[in-house]
Amino acid sequence: MTEEEKTPLNSLTELDFLPDWDHTNTYQKKEKHHQDRKKVVHKKSKYTKKEKNEFVFQVSISQIVNESVKKQLRSDAITRDVGVMAAEILKRQAFALKVQFKERDKNFIINKKNGEIYLNEEDAITELIKDSKFVEIKKGEKIQLKGNFQYIYKCNKTGNFYPPTSHDAFDNLIETTLMKSKVNFRKKDYIASLSKSTDAEEIKVLQETDLHKTTFSMDETNQFFSMDALVKYLKEVNFQKFFTRSNTIKLTAKSINDISKYSIIKKNFSLISKERIKNDISKVLLIALKRANFHTFISKKVIYISAYKPKKYIEEEMNQCCKLITQRCGKQGAPIKELLGEYENFKKKKIEILQEIKWLLKEGILRQYSDGNVELT
């Protein structure tokens, strides 16, 4: 099966199966007991609290993966263990998840324009503001930097100088720098990274620099002298123009593991055991293949799937080679290597025997397992 690098959300096939991941025991009971000859003495039970999961997860398999599985089953006609197939899908992260906040009043934020998903309003607005086409920076009045500064601030990365925080242009200059550089809009972090400078030459350079206050605007009618004011306007007045809220989203397993902004979802998903995820992928896969009219059966507590249903056959209607193959297999079965090793008895070349076996498999007369064993259906 081909690993999906990134599956578009609208191509995900929802299957009617909701894993019982939401009802995980919160506590795990561990009891130690000591038994003497006459009686059992139980010590107090110890409880280990498990980390609480913030989300409910529902597994699904995309149409691409479904079709890939069906194509392979039809092509090689091999009868496969559903659990083994599910383990491969899990390993390749070739499945998707419906992710839902447990708390109904919590929502994901979705950008209406590009469909990007965020876990909170702050991150959503930050990414929107970083878009060069969204916020226009306009030069305003000239900044006066007169006076005897005891110190100034310096950015060691860019070499930019800033007046003391008490100056009324300090915030505006910081925000203008951040907007023009398109870095993550975390003003507090940037300010904390600045170093103080008492160097007279550097103070002089700052005072002689031609600096202007700037305004930030989204359109011609709304202009703001600070990014805080613009963010507040977006949150309180214009949020629904750019974003929608949803308690539930769909993501591929690969995106959850690879994209850093989904780290909280990844952490919560990791609380679920891989064995449990594999079992639920098995159930979803089984539902999809049954709907496609594939044949399923249980042998020694293992669920198998085949693209071809068992079929009764009339031996007299088969050629001599097919008769010998079916007789050799019987209900006990025979490894395909042994069948090919008897090409002299079958009076056929090995490639011809393989072709006959493939025909018998697709007719539903024989079934071949992944280990190479062939038996009558």
Confidence at residue 49, expressed as pLDDT on a 0 to 100 scale: 57
332 and 258 inside one domain: no
Its pTM surpasses 0.75: no
Is residue 370 predicted with pLDDT exceeding 90?
yes
Domain that holds residue 89: 9-25+50-104+254-299
3-class secondary structure, 115: coil
| Domain-embedded: residue 123 | no
Q: Where are the alpha helices (DSSP H) in 182-252?
A: 187-193, 200-208, 227-236, 239-242
229 and 316 inside one domain: no
| Domain-embedded: residue 355 | yes
| Domain-embedded: residue 189 | yes
Tens of pLDDT, residue by residue over 286-319, are: 999 999 999 999 999 999 999 999 998 888 889 9
| Domain-embedded: residue 315 | yes
138 and 221 inside one domain: yes
Half-sphere exposure of 185 (CA within 13 A, CB side): 21
282 and 313 inside one domain: no
Confidence at residue 50, expressed as pLDDT on a 0 to 100 scale: 67
How many domains is the chain partitioned into structurally?
A: 3
Contact 178, 190 (CB under 8 A): yes
CATH number, domain with residue 331: 1.10.10
Tens of pLDDT, residue by residue over 95-110, are: 999 999 999 999 999 9
3-class secondary structure, 84: helix
| Domain-embedded: residue 113 | no
**What is the DSSP code (8-state) at residue 236?**
H
Is residue 37 predicted with pLDDT exceeding 80?
no
| Domain-embedded: residue 313 | yes
Confidence at residue 20, expressed as pLDDT on a 0 to 100 scale: 42
Reported as a pLDDT band with limits 50, 70 and 90, residue 19 is very low
Instruction: Give the residue among 202, 214, 174 at the shortest CA–CA distance from 190.
Output: 174
